[in-house]
A and B are shown apart, each in its own frame.
Chain A
Amino acid sequence: MMSHLGHRLSALIDGELDDAERDRVLVHLARCEPCRGEAVALRTLKRRMNALGEAAADAALTRRLMGLAGVAGADSPGQSASPTQPGLGGGRSSARELKPSWYVTAGAVAAVLVGVGAAAFVAGGGGSQPEPRVTPAVDTYVLQHDLMTGVVPVGSGADKLQPRPSKGLPSPVP
């Protein structure tokens, strides 16, 4: 069922509309049967959701209190729980609900780190040789040395260059 009011209907249910907007929405509801039906459905849904949240909070609080009692030993549940009860009711309950996902995330990150570290350890070892195997172009280097240092070639690569003068020379960097 499509609402004529769109998101304004849910805003009305949540009490987020200002007075003028609220009046306009209510005027529309008064005249529109489908929107009224949807408003009722939304209110019902919100009420049930609230009820579920309270139940979850209660159950969580109960488990928390039982846990505290077990750790405290001789302390009575009432003594240990009562000072923290207001605060624990919401905050600890949320933390408790987040823990499983947090564990999953942490576990996944740890697994990735260990995997990358292991791979890096293997790749960084001396067993494999990812570097290219090179035969230095010594003739070219000797000639370059002679040219750069102003030393006349002595048994330099110049003679080696004769049969292939164009191939033996390095191509300059563009």
Chain B
Amino acid sequence: MSRRKAPGWRVASVAALLGLIGSGIAALMLADGGGGSTLRASPNAAGPAPRPSGVLSPAAASAGLQLLQQAAAACQDTSYRGVQVVAWWGQGPTTASVVDVWHEPGQVTVVQAAAGPASGTGVSSPPVAVGYQDPDGILGVSQQLLNLMQSNYEVIYAGRGTIAGRPALVVEVRHPDGSLAALFWLDAATKLPLRREIFASGSHMISEDAFTDLQLGTRQVGASPALAAAPWTTQVDAATLTSMRSRGWPLPARLPANLMLFSATQTSTRSGQVVGLSYSDGLDVVSLFVQRGVVAGPMPGWRQVSVDGRTVYVADQSERSLAWSSDGYVYTLIADAPVTTADQVVAALPDSKPPGFWQRIGHGLHRFASWANPLRN
């Protein structure tokens, strides 16, 4: 694993991160802070972001979707290297990262932490390179997610802006009731996504991701570091999912808040088979990991809470991770979504209740069968 050696990059990245966090805090404190930053086309996170220009029209809606589709294609076809800042403004402590990103067409996108930790900000700095699953895009812009987004949101071209000194096109994503869900800034020349802001209900911003530096072209990309982690490669097809469901595995095809299953993988670990399911409505993304067993107990750095009457463990540092067990299965939920959405997902999954007489006998017979099965996991 090669760490980055250019100190200038580190300084610039940390400075950009601190500036970003500072502007976010200022935005939270000011109800109507007029933005002077070239990085912010939407004013702040405290109030509904007005459309930068123009009025809603069918043409604007069509243009907005078309722009995001071009952005998804650009994510695949463009060679680039950049520095990206990612911040999560959840209910718990804010988390943020600065990462270097490399991409060349036909290859996985490589991400590596760009800087050391910045004190007092909850910044994590993973100096390990990981590779996105091809052909997913960046900043959540991929054709797969766009298909879901089209079903659940209105996508509107809102005007022009500027990000990191680059001319940008602004696309709004709105709920059917008209409230703001997300803003995208796309590079005017290449249509690459440069910035994304996601809002919870009440237009409270919960996440912002942005490139603070971007270089285009194969010559600029250079050599990316060797990958230390890659996605699970064993895909679970529809027939296998159906078969596992018939054997009792709780693998829902959809979850509350219009979250649809769009990816299923599996792997085997020392604790048994694990199935990873990813759901999205086009904007919010959650992953549910299911395995047999019961949660061993409280984990370091986690606290116990009650969600819909069941005991759930929540990561202290970032409330996007939840774990609980029910009916002989352990669930781990990773949610890039509002807390209310995560709670809805928890409540929608099976809950343990005292079994009835026949149900109890059925469970016992099922256990006998599983004990007798030499191929059981």
A residues near B, CB below 8 A? 116-117, 119-126, 129-138, 141-156, 158-159, 161-162, 165, 169-173
When the two chains form the complex, which single residue of B274, B276, B328, B365 contacts A148, counting CB atoms closer than 8 Å?
B276
| Chain B contacts for A169, CB-based, 8 A | 228-229
Q: Which of B125-133, B150-158, B176-184 contacts A (4 or more CB under 8 A)?
A: B125-133
Whether A122 and B364, one on each chain, are in contact in the complex, defined by CB atoms closer than 8 angstroms, is yes
Q: List CB contacts (< 8 Å) of B126-161 with chain A.
A: 126-128, 130-133, 136-140, 142, 145
Instruction: Give the docked Cα–Cα distance between A130 and B327 (Å).
Output: 12
Q: Does B4 contact A (CB under 8 A)?
A: no
Nearest CB on B from A155, distance (A): 4
Nearest CB on A from B86, distance (A): 5
When the two chains form the complex, which single residue of B88, B140, B328 contacts A154, counting CB atoms closer than 8 Å?
B88
Q: Does B242 contact A (CB under 8 A)?
A: no
Q: Which of B28-36, B290-298, B339-347 contacts A (4 or more CB under 8 A)?
A: B290-298
A-B pairs with CB below 8 Å: how many?
A: 219
| Chain A contacts for B130, CB-based, 8 A | 143, 146-147, 153, 158
Whether A144 and B276, one on each chain, are in contact in the complex, defined by CB atoms closer than 8 angstroms, is yes
Nearest CB on A from B263, distance (A): 5
- The interface on chain B, measured as residues whose beta carbon lies within 8 A of the other chain's beta carbons, has a size of 87
Whether A153 and B271, one on each chain, are in contact in the complex, defined by CB atoms closer than 8 angstroms, is no
Q: Which of B8-16, B50-58, B162-170, B354-362 contacts A (4 or more CB under 8 A)?
A: B354-362
Whether B132 and A147, one on each chain, are in contact in the complex, defined by CB atoms closer than 8 angstroms, is yes
| Chain B contacts for A156, CB-based, 8 A | 97, 124, 126
Instruction: Give the docked Cα–Cα distance between A136 and B272 (Å).
Output: 11
When the two chains form the complex, which single residue of B109, B145, B289, B360 contacts A141, counting CB atoms closer than 8 Å?
B289
Instruction: Give the docked Cα–Cα distance between A117 and B97 (Å).
Output: 57
Whether B299 and A120, one on each chain, are in contact in the complex, defined by CB atoms closer than 8 angstroms, is no
Q: Does B70 contact A (CB under 8 A)?
A: no
Whether B228 and A165, one on each chain, are in contact in the complex, defined by CB atoms closer than 8 angstroms, is yes
Whether A161 and B323, one on each chain, are in contact in the complex, defined by CB atoms closer than 8 angstroms, is no
When the two chains form the complex, which single residue of B97, B132, B364 contacts A123, counting CB atoms closer than 8 Å?
B364
Q: List CB contacts (< 8 Å) of B277-318 with chain A.
A: 278, 280, 285, 287, 289, 291-297, 299, 315, 317-318
Whether A144 and B232, one on each chain, are in contact in the complex, defined by CB atoms closer than 8 angstroms, is yes
| Chain A contacts for B332, CB-based, 8 A | 136, 138, 141
- Of B86, B295, B328, chain A has the most CB atoms within 10 Å of the CB of B86
- Of A119, A146, A169, chain B has the most CB atoms within 10 Å of the CB of A146
Which A residue's beta carbon lies closest to that of B125?
Answer: A159
Which A residue's beta carbon lies closest to that of B280?
Answer: A149
Q: List CB contacts (< 8 Å) of B73-92 with chain A.
A: 84, 86-88
Q: Does B334 contact A (CB under 8 A)?
A: yes
Which A residue's beta carbon lies closest to that of B134?
Answer: A150
Q: Does B99 contact A (CB under 8 A)?
A: yes
| Chain B contacts for A126, CB-based, 8 A | 352, 354-355
Which 9 A-B residue pairings sit nearest by Cβ, starting from the closest? A120-B364, A124-B364, A158-B126, A124-B363, A150-B136, A134-B293, A123-B364, A145-B287, A159-B126
Whether B336 and A148, one on each chain, are in contact in the complex, defined by CB atoms closer than 8 angstroms, is no
27 contacts between A and B (CB under 8 A): A116-B365, A120-B365, A120-B367, A120-B368, A121-B357, A124-B355, A132-B272, A133-B293, A133-B294, A136-B330, A143-B130, A145-B287, A147-B131, A148-B263, A148-B278, A149-B263, A149-B336, A150-B145, A152-B138, A154-B86, A154-B87, A154-B124, A156-B124, A161-B128, A165-B229, A172-B233, A173-B266
